[in-house]
Amino acid sequence: MGAMKETMGFQTEVKQLLHLMIHSLYSNKEIFLRELVSNASDACDKLRFQAINNDALYEGNSDLKIRVTFDKEARTVTIEDNGIGLSRQDAIDHLGTIAKSGTKEFFTQLSGDQQKDAALIGQFGVGFYSAFIVADQVTVRSRKAGLPVGEAIEWTSKGDGEFTVENIEKEARGTQIILHLKADEDELLSAWKLRSILTKYSDHISLPIEMGKEEWDEEKSDMKATGEWETVNKASALWARSKSEITEEEYKEFYKNISFDFQDPLAYTHNRVEGGRSEYTNLLYIPSKAPYDLWDRNQQKGIKLYVKRVFIMDDAEQLMPPYMRFVKGVIDSSDLPLNVSREILQESRDVKAIREGSVKKVLGMLEDMAKNDADKYTTFWTEFGQVLKEGMGDDPSNKDRIAKLLRFASTQNDGEAQTVSLDDYIGRMKEGQDKIYYVTADSYAAAKYSPHLEVFKKKGVEVLLLTDRVDEWMLSYLNDYEGKGLQSCAKGGLDLGALEDEQEKETKKKVETEFEDVLKRVQDLLKDKIKEARVTLRLTDSPVCLVADEQGMSEHLKRMLKQAGQNAPDTKPVLELNPEHPLVQRLKIEKTHFDEWVNILFDQAVLAEGGHLEDPASFVRRLNMLLLTVKA
Ligand code: ADP
């Protein structure tokens, strides 16, 4: 069929990525080797996996390996594997586009700040294109397993927007990546240098990585090739080695390899589980930063599944629940069949046992961190707390453990850091207090200055300030903790139980009679907007506030539902008035402007909640009118 040389353009995103990468990853350029070796290793994994059902793909050679060589004269470094290889179409599809989902969102997150972007690009996974950090031309020669020698391909690009593909003859199955080094990259033309990068980044790769053996040549006073090969990595799956043989450095490097993260992980756990339902090994990591696509509940690429060291799949979502989608790592089962499919995974009781066991390990790791290293736990919580909260609803069997791990902002602390646990709260409860009080709002400021907190401040009772979007949802799964009910400060007639003294109860009765008339008029006037008007002792500074019915939905939740385009039930709030406030007292004697006063007070209550006025123009008009009645 001839050479059929074709020239094609890179997808726009590839061009963008190449440009960014070359400029922002330059200080970290050694990673190109890790990425290419990792691709070579993936290619061998894929071959091994496909060969399970089709032994012919091995073409008589199942001795899979990776070789790294260099040529001083030609100034090239070559990474070669005998894995699955690329067909012509594979090369066009995979080495010219970025197939990853979320590519668009990824590009919108880039800030232009080199350091930040470098970390993001790292998370995104630079893969093959990282070759262009050190090379000004990259040639890929490859033959796909099972295809004839004459249907091999050569792909070449200078990384400038175009690539060419043509057919060549290639005997050996698999892929050769030839890097034509940039002018100032001569440092890489050394066995010592390449070897040190390989041991740093790729030691754990479970296939042998070979380099040409060299010996000291006395005559030439230089190293010379012996013509033999030697394996330069440990070539055993890291997770399969015993814990005591693995250094912290190795654990961290392994993490960076599987996660595309540049930073060290926050924590990890490595376990061999034997006996019981199933035998497996897991090595699980918690990153120190949230990835750009953390919010996508379907985006679960964290766990690699192996069966008896054979790589099976990358995004085995059955192995971790969505609320632990931040976990990265490897699970290697001894019991699952090698040809396990996603359907089997879904139904397998072994998989369920592995998932449950692994979730418990992650919870254990978090409990440990919370107990022994509060700062680290705060980092975890800041990055992933909102996702962990999903577990309160998603994972009833571990709800109590997750509840212990929750952290909140609170009136007890300055600043919005979420550091208070429910246990901390209970430890500080006042005598006679039997509930855990909280307030929900759109922002920290709205929560902290909410009028609903006034009486709690007066009595010195702590209130948790909840401002994350998932909070309202989570709270519906958290009715009580350690026998203490959770109570919204903005819901129901405030029953402070034993925190309320006799005198307060009497005062309340007295003002209720005193304001009976006013309340009736207010209620008539606002009957379309409120369910009821009543006096309250919960306010000290504000004249009014809105509260939800005990069964009703909070105003905050209603707003969130509306923003999300969902129907919120049309329950009306209760307007509470502070009988001691001069503006409210004024209602008793106000004759001409009663309507204006009441409407302004109602609108104020809406604003103080963080809500939007339905008719802001009327609010302004009324307010101005009243301001003008004040004599200068
Ligand atoms: P990723 O590995 O994250 O998918 P890359 O940019 O590193 O992204 O690689 C793109 C694709 O090119 C891979 O998914 C794979 O299909 C193919 N590829 C890369 N290197 C090799 C190789 N050595 N052998 C076979 N296929 C490869």
Which atom of ligand 1 is closest in space to residue 98's alpha carbon?
Answer: 6
Tokens 């995974």 sit on residue = 345
CA-closest residue to ligand 1 atom 19: 39
Give the span between the Cα atoms of 102 and 338, in whole angstroms. Answer: 30
Please answer whether residues 451 and 411 qualify as being in contact, where contact means their C-beta atoms are separated by less than 8 angstroms: no
Which pLDDT belongs to residue 242? 92
Give the span between the Cα atoms of 107 and 386, in whole angstroms. Answer: 24
In the chain, DSSP finds a helix count (H) and a strand count (E) of 23, 22
Please answer whether residues 122 and 261 qualify as being in contact, where contact means their C-beta atoms are separated by less than 8 angstroms: yes
Tokens 């057919």 sit on residue = 167
Give the span between the Cα atoms of 469 and 560, in whole angstroms. Answer: 8
How many CB atoms sit inside 10 A of residue 541's CB? 11
Q: Which of 37, 82, 84, 128 to mutate to test the pocket of ligand 1 (most atoms within 8 A of CB)?
A: 128
Tokens 């990384």 sit on residue = 159
Give the span between the Cα atoms of 41 and 36, in whole angstroms. Answer: 9
The first and second tokens of residue 498, run together, are 């034993």
48, amino acid identity:
R
d(CA 128, ligand 1 centre) in Å: 6
Which pLDDT belongs to residue 126? 65
Domain boundaries 499-629, CATH class: mainly alpha
Residues forming a β-bridge with 52: none
CA-closest residue to ligand 1 atom 3: 127
Query: What backbone torsions phi and psi does residue 218 show, to the nearest 5 degrees?
Result: -60, -45
User: Which CATH architecture best describes the domain 5-231?
Assistant: 2-Layer Sandwich (3.30)
CA distances from 17 to 21, 97, 99, 132, 266 (A): 6, 10, 13, 11, 28
Which alpha helices (DSSP H) does 183-322 contain, by range? Answer: 191-201, 248-259
Which pLDDT belongs to residue 122? 59
CA-closest residue to ligand 1 atom 13: 94
Give the span between the Cα atoms of 367 and 89, in whole angstroms. Answer: 49
Which pLDDT belongs to residue 311? 77
Same topology, domains 5-231 and 499-629? Answer is: no
391 Cβ below 6 A of ligand 1: no
Which alpha helices (DSSP H) does 25-144 contain, by range? Answer: 31-51, 88-94, 103-109, 114-124, 131-134
Domain ranges in the chain are 5-231, 238-374, 406-489, 499-629
- Written as one string, the DSSP assignment of 146-213 is TS-GGGEEEEEE-SSSEEEEEEE---SSEEEEEEEE-TT-GGGS-HHHHHHHHHHHSTT-SS-EEEEE
Q: Are strands 303-307 and 280-286 parallel, antiparallel or unpaired?
A: unpaired
CA-closest residue to ligand 1 atom 15: 94
40 Cβ below 6 A of ligand 1: yes
How many Å separate Cα 552 from the centre of its chain? 33
Please answer whether residues 330 and 282 qualify as being in contact, where contact means their C-beta atoms are separated by less than 8 angstroms: yes
Q: In what order do the strands lie in the sheet with 328-333?
A: 267-273, 280-286, 328-333, 303-307, 310-313
Which atom of ligand 1 is closest in space to residue 125's alpha carbon?
Answer: 3
Domain boundaries 406-489, CATH class: alpha beta
Please answer whether residues 197 and 30 qualify as being in contact, where contact means their C-beta atoms are separated by less than 8 angstroms: yes
Please answer whether residues 206 and 235 qualify as being in contact, where contact means their C-beta atoms are separated by less than 8 angstroms: yes
Q: pLDDT averaged over consecutive 10-residue blocks of the chain (632 residues)?
A: 82 82 75 89 92 93 96 97 97 84 71 68 72 95 97 95 95 98 95 90 86 90 90 88 93 87 93 86 95 72 84 81 94 84 81 93 97 96 96 96 97 92 96 92 90 90 94 92 92 68 81 92 94 89 87 74 76 90 91 90 90 91 87 69
125 Cβ below 6 A of ligand 1: yes
Please answer whether residues 405 and 391 qualify as being in contact, where contact means their C-beta atoms are separated by less than 8 angstroms: no
Burial code of 55-79, b = ≥16 C-beta within 10 A, e = fewer?
eebbeeeeebbbbbbbeeeebbbbb
pTM of the model: 0.74
- Among the listed residues 123, 134, 135, 112, the one whose alpha carbon sits nearest the alpha carbon of residue 26: 134
Give the span between the Cα atoms of 617 and 413, in whole angstroms. Answer: 38
d(CA 39, ligand 1 centre) in Å: 5
Q: Which of 10, 36, 39, 176 to mutate to test the pocket of ligand 1 (most atoms within 8 A of CB)?
A: 39
Please answer whether residues 375 and 339 qualify as being in contact, where contact means their C-beta atoms are separated by less than 8 angstroms: no
Query: What backbone torsions phi and psi does residue 175 show, to the nearest 5 degrees?
Result: -125, 140
How many CB atoms sit inside 10 A of residue 256's CB? 18
Please answer whether residues 491 and 550 qualify as being in contact, where contact means their C-beta atoms are separated by less than 8 angstroms: yes
Please answer whether residues 271 and 344 qualify as being in contact, where contact means their C-beta atoms are separated by less than 8 angstroms: no
d(CA 85, ligand 1 centre) in Å: 10
Q: Which residues contact 12 (CB under 8 A, 6 or more apart)?
A: none
Which alpha helices (DSSP H) does 373-515 contain, by range? Answer: 374-389, 391-394, 399-405, 422-427, 444-448, 454-459, 471-475, 502-514
Q: In what order do the strands lie in the sheet with 409-410?
A: 409-410, 464-466, 435-440, 484-488, 480-481
Give the span between the Cα atoms of 175 and 264, in whole angstroms. Answer: 31
d(CA 3, ligand 1 centre) in Å: 23
Give the span between the Cα atoms of 241 and 332, in whole angstroms. Answer: 12
20, amino acid identity:
L
Q: Which of 42, 67, 304 to mutate to test the pocket of ligand 1 (most atoms within 8 A of CB)?
A: 42
Which pLDDT belongs to residue 286? 97
Which pLDDT belongs to residue 173? 97
Q: How many residues does the chain have?
A: 632
d(CA 426, ligand 1 centre) in Å: 53
Tokens 């008589």 sit on residue = 60
94 Cβ below 6 A of ligand 1: yes
User: In angstroms, what is the C-alpha Rg of the chain?
Assistant: 33
Please answer whether residues 539 and 455 qualify as being in contact, where contact means their C-beta atoms are separated by less than 8 angstroms: yes
Give the span between the Cα atoms of 575 and 5, in whole angstroms. Answer: 77
CA distances from 504 to 63, 232, 511 (A): 84, 80, 11
Q: Are strands 209-217 and 66-71 parallel, antiparallel or unpaired?
A: parallel
Which CATH code, of 3.30.230.80, 3.30.1180.10, 3.40.1190.20, 3.40.640.10, is assigned to 238-374?
A: 3.30.230.80
CA distances from 175 to 43, 56, 65, 141, 171 (A): 9, 18, 11, 6, 11
